[in-house]
Amino acid sequence: MRPYVFAGGTAVLTGAASGIGRALATGLAARGSHLALIDRDEAGLDTVAAELRPLHPALRISVHPFDLGRTAEIPALADAVLRAHPRVTLLVNNAGVALGGTFEQLTLDEFEWVMAINFRAVVALTKAFLPALRSSLDSQLVNVSSLFGLIGPAGQSAYSSSKFAVRGFTEVLRHELTPQGIGVTTVFPGGVRTNIARNARVGAGVSTAQTQAGQREFERLLRLDPARAAAIILHGVERRRPHVLVGNDARLLDLLARLVPSSYGRILEQARQGS
């Protein structure tokens, strides 16, 4: 396929109010893309749009506050986006939530909350915008998985399950849609410096001490600047890469999972205890 052309296209971006999503919005606008920005944080969306509109007055930038946990309402969200932007050339499913705790410490409702936002919303958004992507020549679909879509560490049963699901779903779509002229990319961010650890929920059975220790350990891994992560992602999107590994940790653990798929957990635990 030819390289993806950002200039003049329209990108629909979820999780756009902060972190990687905010950096992606900035990078997409700088490359000439009109934007439909989606996030449950309405104030954050307004801030991003207010920053970008004076810098890029020729671009159409719309904001769509929405909680992706309301999966059944996603078709109505898509209708609102398409009224503002009849032509969509890029869909970036970036939004995600985290939940700490072993599987035994989680309730089924907590597990389902993660799956609804991280996976079912990705499926519903892809379904809703696929006709628009198909009607645009050389369009692109980007689904953000995670480092934990490459490995399944202890304490991440819900989050890792959702991100492995995104990985599998997107892999299938790549085989189905690429022959139709729609590029498909799966993104695997490593430790990017965002608020995901600080905003993560914890399972009902997790103690306060465990929560604090888990947040400290998780935040210690978040090193890569979001702007750098966004640049890596957009570089991969432009080149229609099927997989984009973001950060040295993602590349290392991808290799580890492929070389020693049955024993990487022991290696990770030894590394954690030695740090």
The kind and range of the H/E element at 61 are: strand 61-65
Architecture category of domain 10-274 in CATH = 3-Layer(aba) Sandwich (3.40)
- Token reading at 270: 């030894």
Mean pLDDT along residues 37-49 = 98
Among candidate residues 6, 119, 159, 169, the one labeled active-site is 159
pLDDT at position 125 over 90: yes
Q: Residue 104: what pLDDT?
A: 93
pLDDT per residue as tens digits for the range 222-271: 578 899 999 999 999 999 999 999 988 888 888 988 888 777 777 777 66
Distance separating alpha carbons of residues 235 and 201, to the nearest angstrom: 32
The residue among 4, 265, 272, 10 whose CA lies nearest residue 150 is 265
- To the query of whether residue 4 is one of the catalytic residues in this protein, the response is no
Q: Residue 273: what pLDDT?
A: 59
SS3 91: strand
Q: Which residues are CB-contacts of 131 (< 8 A; sequence separation ≥ 6)?
A: none
Mean pLDDT along residues 87-93 = 98
The residue among 188, 110, 179 whose CA lies nearest residue 142 is 188
pLDDT at position 45 over 60: yes
Is residue 121 within 8 A of residue 95, CB to CB? The reply is: yes
Alpha helices in 85-195 (DSSP H): 108-115, 121-135, 157-177
- Residue type at 193 in one-letter notation: R
Percent of the chain clearing pLDDT 70 (strictly above): 87
How high is the mean pLDDT of the chain?
Answer: 90
Q: Residue 164: what pLDDT?
A: 97
Q: Which residues are CB-contacts of 134 (< 8 A; sequence separation ≥ 6)?
A: 180, 182
pLDDT per residue as tens digits for the range 197-227: 556 677 777 755 554 445 555 555 657 889 9
Mean pLDDT along residues 115-133 = 98
pTM exceeding 0.85: yes
